[in-house]
Amino acid sequence: MSSWKVSSRETVVFFPEELAVGEEYVVYAMVIREGQTWFYLCANRGANIPYRYPSQVFEVVDGRLSQFWRFSRQQGRSGGWFSLFAIPEWIEGRGFYERLVDGLDPELAVSLRYRSIMDAEATVAS
């Protein structure tokens, strides 16, 4: 299995300062909420932290899921439900992503470790 890979479309309307046209990105997590799919990937905004981008900005070039992803249906703070595909620590640890964005060392170390092996996983599949 490989990590899900996407390529930014010919015209980047939403995030031109963050995404390079035609660049391929490994998707490190995916959320489906209120009919919208979001991909978490590392782009120019944060080299070490995956941020979310709307799926319509991308074309899927390799749709095989990472062997490290798990699935969870979770209830958000506002009470709505969403589906999350991510690493186990993100799925199981409420607030993992928020602590990662805050740059806390344990979460960053876990994320970087998974990023490294998911990048290798995606490269093997190419």
pLDDT at site 15? 63
Mean pLDDT, consecutive 10-residue stretches, the chain (126 aa), reads 52 64 88 94 80 88 91 89 96 92 93 94 74
pLDDT at site 7? 62
pLDDT at site 6? 61
pLDDT at site 20? 77
Query: How far apart are the C-alpha atoms of 22 and 7, rounded to whole Å?
Result: 6
DSSP 28-97: -EEEEETTEEEEEE--TT-SSS-EEEEGGGEEEEE-PPPTT-EEEEEE-TTS-EEEEEE-HHHHHSTTHH
DSSP class of residue 93? S
pLDDT at site 67? 94
pLDDT at site 1? 33
pLDDT at site 45? 62
The structure's pTM equals 0.84
Distance in Å from the first CA to the final CA of the chain: 11
